[in-house]
Amino acid sequence: MRFNQCLQFGMVMFGVTLFGCSSNRVSVTIPVEKIQDRMEIATMLEETNDQYFVSQALFDDLEASASKISDNPADVEEFKSLLEELKKCKPEDEEQIKSITAKMAGCLEIPEKFQPPFVRNNKK
């Protein structure tokens, strides 16, 4: 009888532990593919922010990716507007390039858990 009681106690403890662990999990509602795309965009923006250089290839990539940055249409429109401002910048406009790329990073919809520091520091 003692063995059965120990077995039952062990099963209860296992269940409590399992339940306790599973209740602390964070569910991500954004598909992984979208998060990966947005992380790549964040990397492009951070590199631009660090180097103050904006190539035509970067503009093309950002334009092609603009619709992927968020599921919120307002964020997408703001990103596109900022991209147009960025296109007008000259290489010597370092502070303006830094400011615009930081604002663009703030438009990215990435769950907080996965946000790189550049995105987290520039969220609206």
In tens, the pLDDT along 36-89 reads 999 999 999 999 888 877 888 888 999 999 999 999 999 999 999 999 999 999
In this predicted structure, the answer to whether residue 10 has a pLDDT above a threshold of 70 is no
User: Do 91 and 55 contact (CB within 8 A), yes or no?
Assistant: no
Phi-psi region of 52 (alpha: psi -120 to 50; beta: other; left: phi over 0): left
Sequence letter at residue 98: K
Domain boundaries, the chain: 32-120
User: Cβ contacts of residue 116 below 8 Å, gap of 6+?
Assistant: 39, 42, 43, 46, 110
How far apart are alpha carbons 66 and 122 in whole angstroms?
18
Beta strands in the chain (DSSP E): none
In this predicted structure, the answer to whether residue 18 has a pLDDT above a threshold of 50 is no
How far apart are alpha carbons 108 and 39 in whole angstroms?
9
SS3 124: coil
Q: Mean pLDDT for the chain?
A: 82
Cα R_g (the chain), whole angstroms: 22
